[in-house]
Structure 1
Amino acid sequence: MTQSPPAQIIPPHIRQMPDGRLLLVGGNHDVQTMFSADGPPPPAERVAVFLDNHRQRSAYCAERGIGFGQWVFPDPIVFSGGFPAGRMRSAFERALPQGARPEGLHYPLALLDGHLDRQNRTDTHYSPIGNMHVAARIVQQMRGTDLSDRLAALTAQISAPHSVSGDLGVQCTPPITEMRAAPPRIPGIRTALNGVQSGNMGIMQLIVSPNADSDRTLLIFGDSFFRMLLPELSRYWRRIVFCRTQFFHAEMVAAVAPDDILTGLAERYFASTRPDAERPHFLAYPLMLGRAMAPDPDFPALWDQLIDRRRLAMG
């Protein structure tokens, strides 16, 4: 007798939509409730904190001649084709409609919604093709550069799709996979992590990209959405220091001496913004959280190349 395949088990905080796409609906932020069109808007006091942080970050960078941009990354639950039309609504757009956003604040929903190749079916993040487009838009916003020809060339080199299981797919039993294509990586990148164990806050990733199209240095304060963008941003910045944090850490700026700073967060974190004044020193995260570190072998060499230890001690 032929044995039936095992039943698919999908955890309750994940929902599979009619088109097969997996969406995070629960979790710590109760995502479906947060983005429900008839649910409560983000708390006004949290929105005020977010705007105050943005004003202070913008002013800090302007005073020092540093390019600055802040990005809120749309949650896939608001993309069309998932829930029925009108059921979900962007929490960020509800709190800050287009006309109410200050300069330097970006929300690339239109760049991703309606483009299936820019989305994932088994992951909370965007596809490699989506990240290619978001990175190009970031460069366009910061430098005023038209990257249409660059995007066309990269699109012509996109790889054949291969099977992967994203951060939602691997939580299912058996894991749910999808076919995913990607643009070519820029060659010659050196990268290393500080190796924070068990958790996210305090992760630092250092990148040197000798074939980037500028000799600029980029400092990023952000979450996993920016970390997923690092291979694409490496096309445009020669040196990148990524710090996994929700805060703007002025103590790191002098040590990195960036030409540009990007800050950003997933939309589901928007309603829980805390003031930058509450930040710890970035390098204290592992100590505060009791987490071990196991830096990659190349981390010390890249640290010496990218971090000014004297300025860090004075920060």
Structure 2
Amino acid sequence: MLVEGSVINNTLIGKNEWLYLWQGGQRQFDFLTSRSSPSPQSITNFLNNIEDRVKFCQNNDIRYIHIVYPSKPVVMPENLPEFISGEVRSLFKRCYEDFIKKCLTESVLYPLDSLVKEKNSAPVFRQYDTHMTDYGNAIVSREILRHLGENHDPLLFFKSQPQNRIGDLAKMADVKKTVVENALKSISNVDQSWDNRAFLPGNTDNVVIVHNPNSASDKRLLALGDSFLRDGLSSLSTFYRDILYIRSDLFQKDAIALFAPDAIISANAERYMCQISSDSDADGILLKCYGRANYHPSDAYVAAFNAQIGYRAYPKRYQNWAKKIKSLSFEGIGVGEPNNQIDFSDIDNGYMISSGTDPQIIINESMLDKELSYKLIFSIDSQHPGIFQIFYDNENNDKLFKFNEENSIKFDIKNGKNIFECNIPKNRNSNSIRIDPVNFEGYFRINYLTAHLNFCD
């Protein structure tokens, strides 16, 4: 049983089973209750960092903003236990805000007021987690974009879907149950990310690449910060075509030179304001892991990484990589994963090359609800006559994708343009789809694949 006011494994139990990080390495509540304050050197480092970053970005025609993510106890004090609720004050406002020079006020964002206002509409922090909800992340991303001069609302590009979730604080406190949260799912479902976190012993040196071929702009964003900024990448990718996220509290000038961003966001959670380092002590992270015996990122990650850091020096490599991603992206459905019989080495205008007689594209996490029936419409250009086959179900949502002929539809294709439509039934085992575009060696192009609810079924 969770007892209000108790602390279990560094987790503070609040009212109505709301959980808060108690102290942690940053001694969060010591700084939120004025028992401790950051050193004068930390305040000086913060101001000098922001001032130097602003000048650098102005000189290089790059838009810039630094965001301080308000702590959960500051945004959600109403659920703190009584013994401490009246003592909590914003660390940023108490120790930093008055020192920020007038010329820097537009370059530092502390979205406390926006989060407090919006929490009356929907939760902005997760009950069992240190971090914000998807809705909270979208609200902050909207504020970031507005401060960067972009009129864009990420919430318009998502749909809400209830989901059972457990949080990092629940795991720390050994809480066995989940809580229902409204997850935000992309409407287009074609944004992709490549993450090296699984190949690291911890979150140090984490680098994430995000690419959205259907983004609202073709602009590029460099994001430097901790997990709070990382959680907002999905919302930010509704506007930015490419995002390079580096877990770092300091500026990364080598990444700027290679990635060529249009905008830079640096960020930190409020609890990290307890101690700020100087950018003069920064160390490059971008290539830090390569050469380590225990670092083996996937081929897909390496391809995305090389394409992005070669954007300025080797634009053709980036362009070919982006064409490949776009050719496998089907708006409103998802992104396909090709097998080894599909080649993109000579891709042009969306064409792919079949190097065998059984090329396959699998869309694992499609947006097609397995309980509903759909009409699919697709168009394919083919170099030769052959057979197009689509599999709309696999055996018991098998992760090995054991598709079978009974749950498939075949079409004869001719040389040139082909347009087909078919119905797939409801009450399927999974939302997976497999496309076998041709059965020969040669060129082909999938022009589009769309899905519409079949209300007559």
Same fold (TM over 0.5): yes
Question: 1:214 is paired with a residue of what secondary structure?
Answer: coil
Question: What TM-score comes out, normalization by structure 2 length?
Answer: 0.61
Query: Which whole-Å CA distance do the structure 2 matches of 1:230 and 1:198 have between them?
Result: 22
Please, which of 108, 113, 116 is the counterpart of residue 110 of structure 1? 113
User: Which residue of structure 2 lines up, in the alignment, with residue 167 of structure 1?
Assistant: 168
Contact 1:220–1:262 at 8 Å: present in 2 too?
Answer: yes
Please state if 1:130 is matched with 2:136: yes
Shift of 1:176: 4.2
Please state if 1:267 is matched with 2:270: yes
Query: Which whole-Å CA distance do the structure 2 matches of 1:233 and 1:309 have between them?
Result: 20
User: Which residue of structure 2 lines up, in the alignment, with residue 4 of structure 1?
Assistant: none
User: Which residue of structure 1 lines up, in the alignment, with residue 67 of structure 2?
Assistant: 71
Change (3 A) 1:264 1:94: same
Query: Which whole-Å CA distance do the structure 1 matches of 2:236 and 2:152 have between them?
Result: 15
Shift of 1:269: 0.7
User: Which residue of structure 1 lines up, in the alignment, with residue 255 of structure 2?
Assistant: 252
Contact 1:286–1:292 at 8 Å: present in 2 too?
Answer: no
Query: Which whole-Å CA distance do the structure 2 matches of 1:86 and 1:311 have between them?
Result: 55
Query: Which whole-Å CA distance do the structure 2 matches of 1:66 and 1:139 have between them?
Result: 14
Question: 2:48 is paired with a residue of what secondary structure?
Answer: helix
RMSD: 2.5
Equivalences for 1:163-312 in 2 at 5 Å?
163-185=164-186, 186-195=188-197, 196-283=199-286, 285-286=288-289, 292-308=294-310
Query: Which whole-Å CA distance do the structure 1 matches of 2:59 and 2:240 have between them?
Result: 22
Change (3 A) 1:86 1:100: farther
User: Which residue of structure 1 lines up, in the alignment, with residue 30 of structure 2?
Assistant: 33
Contact 1:12–1:26 at 8 Å: present in 2 too?
Answer: no
Identity, in percent, stands at: 24
User: Which residue of structure 1 lines up, in the alignment, with residue 92 of structure 2?
Assistant: 92
Please state if 1:47 is matched with 2:39: no
Please state if 1:143 is matched with 2:149: yes
Please, which of 78, 81, 84 is the counterpart of residue 81 of structure 1? 78
Change (3 A) 1:166 1:268: same
Change (3 A) 1:221 1:54: same
Query: Could you tell me which amino acid in structure 1 is paired with residue 69 of structure 2?
Result: F
Shift of 1:284: 5.3
User: Which residue of structure 1 lines up, in the alignment, with residue 356 of structure 2?
Assistant: none
Query: Which whole-Å CA distance do the structure 2 matches of 1:227 and 1:248 have between them?
Result: 16
Shift of 1:170: 1.5
Shift of 1:128: 0.5
Shift of 1:19: 2.4
User: Which residue of structure 1 lines up, in the alignment, with residue 14 of structure 2?
Assistant: 17
Contact 2:8–2:173 at 8 Å: present in 1 too?
Answer: yes
* Greater percentage in helix: 1
Residues 224-255 of structure 1: per-residue CA shift (max 9 Å, x gap): 01110011111010011111111101011110
Question: What TM-score comes out, normalization by structure 1 length?
Answer: 0.87
Shift of 1:292: 3.0
* Greater percentage in strand: 2
Query: Could you tell me which amino acid in structure 2 is paired with residue 188 of structure 1?
Result: V
Contact 1:251–1:281 at 8 Å: present in 2 too?
Answer: yes
Residues 132-189 of structure 1: per-residue CA shift (max 9 Å, x gap): 1111111111024163xx64x457x321x22111111122224342211022224212
Question: 2:180 is paired with a residue of what secondary structure?
Answer: strand
Contact 1:72–1:264 at 8 Å: present in 2 too?
Answer: yes
If you compute each CA radius of gyration, which structure gives the higher value, 1 or 2?
Answer: 2
Query: Could you tell me which amino acid in structure 1 is paired with residue 160 of structure 2?
Result: I
User: Which residue of structure 2 lines up, in the alignment, with residue 3 of structure 1?
Assistant: none
Query: Which whole-Å CA distance do the structure 2 matches of 1:247 and 1:86 have between them?
Result: 34
Query: Could you tell me which amino acid in structure 1 is paired with residue 43 of structure 2?
Result: V
Where do 5+ consecutive residues of structure 2 fail to align?
Answer: 315-457
Count of residues paired in the alignment: 299
Query: Which whole-Å CA distance do the structure 2 matches of 1:291 and 1:26 have between them?
Result: 35
Query: Which whole-Å CA distance do the structure 1 matches of 2:144 and 2:180 have between them?
Result: 27
Query: Could you tell me which amino acid in structure 2 is paired with residue 200 of structure 1?
Result: N
Residues 111-140 of structure 1: per-residue CA shift (max 9 Å, x gap): 222505111101111001111111111111
Query: Which whole-Å CA distance do the structure 1 matches of 2:157 and 2:268 have between them?
Result: 26
